[in-house]
Chain A
Amino acid sequence: MIRPLLAVSAIALALASCARSDPGLNQSGSRPDLPDVRQTLIPPMKIAEPTGWNGQVPTVPAGFTVTAIATDLRIPRQMLILPNGDILIAEGRGGNAPALRPKDIIAGPIKKAGNTPVESGNRITLLRDANNDGTPEVRTVFIDNLNAPYGLAFVDGAIYVAAQDALLRFTYQPGQTRITAQPEEVTRLPSRINHHWTKSLTASADGQTLYVGIGSNSNVGERGMAVEEDRAVVWAIDRATGARRTVATGIRNPTALAIEPQTGALWSVVNERDELGPQLVPDYLTSVREGAFYGWPYSYWGKNLDPRVMPQKPELVARAIAPDYALGSHVAALGLSFASNGGFGGAFSQGAFIGEHGSWNRQDPSGYKVVWVPFANGQPSGQPVDFVTGFITHSGTRGRPVGVAFDPNRRIMLVADDLSNTIWRIAPRNGAAR
């Protein structure tokens, strides 16, 4: 009896680490290839060692230049470009999920090894580069002492900040470089546990509504569904009254929201679940449809059942809709910015820039770059194209992209890199390519 048991356990341990990706699968676009669920005893955790840039810069397409417009930040996440061209950068790290299982204690430090050790900024930094030469003349701490700020929006002369526990409004005078006045709380945001703490934010095309993306409190409901009340949703908040309603549900972790400029529709990049295999489940880009249920946690990519969730909810799964556009499994899309007013011209005139933080839950790294998804008539119209790369090399990770921001007035694109704590500025080489 002993020998067979030993053999079984040896085989099982060996099996655990050999879940390989199939490079033949196409996991981007509107109809991604979805392999069978492959759960392993030991989830693949591949964290490439942070090495820093050491004077190198990311790779951009021919005809573009890239430079660091700010360094030594404290975990830059999302950015906002104000009407006068000033750049705001939300910095920080949130979440207060207690360890519930031995797994939480073991996996935490491993994931941490792939992130910056810098202390959370809990602030917003302002950069002013009035002559658009890539060297800011002014850099100030714009707002300090925030609770893990993430989403930013500017509407009707006021600045809105989605902290990890509340949506705040700051009054703002044009040209101001520091705000010390207390904010007004538009509404509280769900913050208990805050497993996925980032609160993404954008304003509707008419400015009346603020949309906030609220991530789930677990990978797939393993903390119990009671703590998932008002999680994995997108809220629409009335800017004047703070009243809110839920626009979409089952949308696991909507990490960035943006308005598509042609149609005025709300779009989001969303991070999907882990531990179903290296090629499940694709993270996605989708228009956020009114009343839609996107499956989490019961199903993925429409009605594909997740075997881990009990009790199941067939009546919910029956109305789960598939998202619009897959970005690839575990790429961890965290940034979304649409090109507007003709973008960079040529191949980059109509579409979305997407910042992909990069995977931990597969052996072959995915993400770790900024991609461009071309659009036509308000819908994705082709395969994603690499726009900024070089964040990961054979020797380690140099950076990890988060927020992206296209500035149509200066024709520049900014990428927040929260591993090297840098903002990268990408501009056409001749200054005004159109």
Chain B
Amino acid sequence: MMVLISSAGRGLNALHGILLGFPIALFATAVLTDIAYLKTAEIQWTNFSAWMITGGLVFGGIVTAWALVSLVVGLKSPRRKAKVIYAAVLAVMWLLGLMNAFKHSQDGWSSVGAFGLMLSVLCSLLALAAGFIAFAGLTSRETVR
């Protein structure tokens, strides 16, 4: 059982959990809108992607900063290794998301293309991984209880 970002030992901090939900949902939606653009060449889909990625970066940035601070503050915590993995997954997600935001700022087909779609998929997988790490501990404890 891993409680990474806890409030008074009561599992995942609710606010942290809510914030984490944004990159998970937004990056995943960007994968869908990217695919929609590549299938239709309808420009509005890539505009959607650009905003999804930007939103994912804003909320994901807060979550990443939170995880990093929590890691630094709790360096001696017994769950240090899990915290390192969690923060690293988020940090890579955010950096790739930033690259993807620049990619999506190019014009027309270049705003997505194979590279943009690949970045969107990677960001989405990393966000899901972070979500899994963060929420798995919480739900398993609740199930046990």
- Are B92's CB and A6's CB within 8 A? yes
Distance in angstroms from B45 CB to nearest chain A CB is 11
Residues from chain A with a CB closer than 8 A to the CB of B108 are 220-222, 297, 308-310
Known: A102-B105, A222-B108, A310-B108. A6 touches B43 (CB 8 A): no
Contacts of A103 in B (CB 8 A): 50, 105
Contacts of B105 in A (CB 8 A): 43, 101-103, 106
A selection of 13 A-B contacts at a CB cut-off of 8 Å is A2-B89, A5-B95, A12-B99, A13-B98, A39-B106, A41-B103, A102-B105, A218-B107, A219-B107, A222-B111, A307-B109, A309-B108, A310-B108
Residues of A within 8 A of B99 (CB): 9, 12-13, 41
B109 engages A6 (CB within 8 Å): no
A307 surroundings in chain B (CB, below 8 A): 109-110
- Smallest distance from the beta carbon of A20 to chain B beta carbons, Å? 19
Closest CB in chain A relative to B19 CB, distance in Å: 19
Q: B47 at interface (Cβ–Cβ under 8 A)?
A: yes
Proximity bits, B98-133, A CB within 8 Å = 1, else 0:
110111111111110000000000100000000000
User: What are the residues of chain A within 8 A of B96 when measuring CB–CB?
Assistant: 5, 9
Q: Is A113 an interface residue (CB 8 A)?
A: no
A253 to B101, CA, bound (A): 28
In the complex, chain A residues whose CB is within 8 Å of the CB of B42: 224
Q: For window 261-314 of chain A, which residues contact chain B by CB distance below 8 Å?
A: 275, 297, 307-311
CB within 8 Å of B: which A1-45 residues? 2, 5-6, 9, 12-13, 16, 39, 41-43
Identify the A interface with B (CB < 8 A). Answer: 2, 5-6, 9, 12-13, 16, 39, 41-43, 100-103, 106, 218-224, 275, 297, 307-311
A16 touches B47 (CB 8 A): no
Q: How far is the CA of A12 from the CA of B50 in the complex (A)?
A: 19
CB-defined contacts of B43 to chain A, threshold 8 Å:
221-224
CB-defined contacts of B102 to chain A, threshold 8 Å: 16, 41-42
In the assembled complex, how far is the CB of residue A183 from the closest CB belonging to chain B, in whole angstroms?
A: 37
Q: Does B44 contact A (CB under 8 A)?
A: yes
The 10 closest A-B pairs by CB, nearest first: A308-B108, A103-B105, A222-B107, A41-B102, A224-B43, A310-B41, A310-B109, A9-B95, A102-B54, A308-B110
Residues of A within 8 A of B41 (CB): 310-311
Residues from chain B with a CB closer than 8 A to the CB of A13 are 98-99
What residues of chain A lie closer than 8 Å to B92, measured between beta carbons? 2, 5-6, 9
> CB of B25 within 8 A of chain A?
no
* Residue from A42, A43, A100, A297 in contact with B47 in the complex, judged by beta carbons closer than 8 Å: A100
**B110 contacts A39, C-beta separation under 8 Å:** yes
CB <8 Å contact, A309 and B109:
yes
Contact of B109 among A12, A223, A308 (CB under 8 A): A308
Q: Tell whether, in the assembled complex, residue A308 and residue B107 are in contact, meaning their CB atoms are under 8 Å apart.
A: yes
Kindly report which residue of chain B lies nearest to residue A227, judged by CB atoms: B43
Residue B32 is within 8 A (CB to CB) of chain A in the complex: no
Complex CA–CA separation, A43 to B104 (angstroms): 12
Query: With an 8 A cutoff between CB atoms, is B51 at the interface?
Result: yes
Inter-subunit contact B47/A220 (CB<8 Å) = no
Q: Mark B11-54, 1 if CB is under 8 A from A, else 0.
A: 00000000000000000000000000000011110010011001
Tell me the bound Cα distance from A260 to B107 in angstroms.
Answer: 36
Bound-complex Cα distance A12 to B111 (A): 16
Closest to A306 in B: B108
- Assembled-state Cα–Cα distance A41/B105 (Å): 8
Is the CB–CB distance between A102 and B109 below 8 Å?
Answer: no
In the complex formed, the residue of A with least CB distance to B110 is A308
In the bound complex, what is the Cα–Cα distance between A310 and B107 (angstroms)?
Answer: 11
Which residues of chain B come closer than 8 Å to A221, judged between CB atoms?
43, 107-108
Q: Does B68 contact A (CB under 8 A)?
A: no
Give complex CA distance A308, B95 in Å. 25
Do A275 and B109 touch (CB < 8 A)? no
B88 within 8 A of A: yes
User: Cα distance A259–B105 when bound, in Å?
Assistant: 39
